[in-house]
């Protein structure tokens, strides 16, 4: 397209000679014709440029996603955030250019989620990604129309997020991370690591709505494995943790099974420190707990769940309805063992188990 400056220069070059030839009081016929032609060209230029401006405005509008998480931007590694970003890149999205993400960092405080969700609704985002169950519950209260993707649900049906896994039926879909078999597997791995343990305690984080089901699953698995659940401690805030471990220490148990939740995740370092001071091996969930000092953990791969969540976002942005997108169950699991913690507790982890671990922290 001819630039405005070049076009005006071209038009002036044509008009100047004709104007020089004109006599006073007389307008040359050629000049009149040229003026009409120039007017037509100017109008044509305007007509041609208008759709281009419209297309530029359309191109400037990119999809907007709100991401609600308990974590902090300083967390490194951050498997959930890193996995989501990786998934978007694999699908061809470039943050800030082809997709906008409004990050809302809880920094360990789940009470901020209602405010985050309400803000996402005010911003009229295209999709809300709620990183976990408490974030999902806040988003569910805030909107019944904006699509919500939850990558880390413990019990999608029981928590009211989905009618069924195959047909969620509302504006919410995503992935589940837990199940009866995972709790049982976690306890089985603890027994393999510490074959002489016959008495355990359970610490359950009540910030996770489905914690009762997990406690029942652990108790059932314990009976199958011949392990006695000697004590149960319910915690809901960081202040509950010291007294919980003090109570457990009096029970003379051989290990502690953590029923994880958002509060314990945010305070995982303090949790691991209390277990170490109490000389109690602690089996947790994701690798982030283990890197913070828990003895071992087994869970669905967090990075894989959030990478898959990007696929849900992509499908929704292309027109799919959350109600029609089945909730996915995990296919990749990770066993992480902290040898530093084992040595501090004077424990020897069997080599056969170390060889099966996805990550060993030394």
pLDDT bin (cut points 50, 70, 90) of residue 60 is low
Question: Which pLDDT does position 212 carry in this prediction?
Answer: 87
Q: 3-class secondary structure for the chain? A: CCCHHHHHHHHHHHHHHHHHHCCCCCCCHHHHHHHHHHHHHHHHHHHHHHHHHHHHHHHHCCCEEEEEECCCCCCCCCHHHHHHHHHHHHCCCCECCCEEEEEEECCCCHHHHHHHHHHHHHCCCCEEEECCHHHHHHHHHHCCCCCEEEEEECCCCCCCCCCCCCCCCCCEEEEECCCHHHHHHHHHHHHHHCCCCCEEEEEEECCCCCHHHHHHHHHHHHHHHCCEEEEEEEECCCCHHHHHHHHHHCCCCCEEEEECCHHHHHCHHHHHHHHHHCCCCEEECCHHHHHHCCCEEEEECHHHHHHHHHHHHHHHHCCCCHHHCCCECCCCEEEEEEHHHHHHCCCCCCHHHHHHCCEEEC
Same domain, 184 and 168: no
- What pTM did the predictor assign? 0.79
Residue 239 sits in the same domain as residue 356? yes
**Domains identified in the chain, total number:** 3
Exposure on the CB side of residue 132, measured as CA atoms within 13 A: 25
Place of tokens 């489905």: 210
Provide the pLDDT for residue 180: 61
Residue with tokens 């007389």: 26
Q: Does the structure show a pLDDT above 70 at 255?
A: yes
Domain boundary among 16, 40, 58: 58
Q: Are residues 154 and 109 in the same domain?
A: yes
Q: Are residues 231 and 256 in the same domain?
A: yes
Q: pLDDT, tens digit, for every residue of 283-337?
A: 999 999 999 999 999 999 999 999 999 999 999 999 999 999 999 999 889 999 9
Residue 19 CB neighbour total at 10 angstroms: 13
The Cα 235–Cα 237 span in angstroms is 6
Q: Does 243 share its domain with 275?
A: yes
Q: What is the mean pLDDT of residues 168-172?
A: 97
Instruction: Examine the domain organization and report whether 284 and 294 are in the same domain.
Output: yes
Residue 278 and residue 293: Cα distance in Å, rounded? Answer: 13
Alpha-carbon distance 12 to 118, whole Å? 58
pLDDT at 179: 63
pLDDT digits (tens, 9 = 90+) for 1-42: 445 555 445 445 544 444 444 444 444 444 444 444 444 444
Q: What is the CATH number of the domain that holds 254?
A: 3.40.50.2300
Domain check: are 206 and 227 in the same one? yes
pLDDT higher than threshold 90 for residue 118: yes
Asked whether residue 261 falls in the same domain as residue 357, the answer is: yes
218 by Cβ neighbours in 10 Å (0-12 / 13-18 / 19+) ranks as: buried
**Domain identity same for 357 and 224:** yes
Are residue 290 and residue 262 in the same domain, yes or no? yes
Q: What are phi and psi for residue 292, nearest 5 degrees?
A: -80, -10
Which structural domain range is residue 17 located in? 4-58
């Amino acid at each position: 397209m001819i630039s405005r400056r070049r076009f005006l220069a071209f038009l002036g070059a044509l008009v100047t000679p004709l104007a020089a030839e004109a006599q006073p009081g007389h307008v040359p016929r050629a000049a009149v014709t040229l003026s009409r032609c120039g007017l037509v060209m100017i109008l044509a230029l305007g007509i041609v440029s208008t759709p281009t401006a419209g297309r530029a405005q359309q191109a400037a509008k990119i999809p907007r996603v709100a991401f609600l998480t308990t974590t902090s931007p300083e967390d490194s590694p951050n498997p959930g955030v890193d996995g989501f970003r990786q998934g978007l890149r694999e699908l061809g999205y470039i943050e800030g250019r082809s997709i906008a993400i409004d990050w809302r960092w809880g920094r360990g405080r789940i009470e901020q989620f209602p405010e985050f969700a309400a803000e996402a609704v005010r911003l009229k985002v295209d999709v809300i990604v709620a990183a976990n169950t408490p974030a999902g519950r806040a988003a569910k209260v805030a909107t019944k129309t904006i699509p919500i993707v939850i990558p880390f649900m413990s019990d999608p049906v029981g928590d009211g997020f989905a009618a069924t896994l195959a047909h969620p039926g509302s504006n919410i879909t995503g992935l589940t991370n837990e199940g009866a078999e995972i709790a049982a597997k976690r306890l089985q791995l603890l027994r393999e690591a510490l074959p002489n343990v016959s008495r355990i305690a359970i610490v359950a984080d009540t910030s996770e709505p489905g914690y009762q089901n997990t406690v029942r699953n652990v108790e059932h698995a314990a009976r199958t494995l011949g392990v006695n659940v000697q004590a149960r401690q319910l915690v809901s805030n960081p202040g509950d943790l010291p007294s919980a471990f003090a109570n457990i220490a009096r029970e003379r148990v051989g290990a502690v099974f953590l029923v994880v939740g958002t509060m314990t995740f945010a305070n995982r370092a303090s949790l691991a420190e209390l277990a170490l001071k109490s000389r109690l091996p602690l089996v947790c969930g994701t690798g982030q707990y283990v890197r913070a000092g828990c003895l071992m953990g087994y869970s669905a791969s967090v990075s894989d769940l959030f990478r898959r969540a990007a696929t849900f976002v992509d499908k929704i942005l292309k027109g799919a309805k959350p109600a029609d997108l089945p909730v996915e169950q995990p296919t990749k699991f990770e066993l992480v063992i902290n040898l530093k913690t084992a040595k501090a507790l004077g424990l020897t982890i069997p080599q056969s188990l170390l060889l099966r671990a996805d990550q060993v922290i030394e």
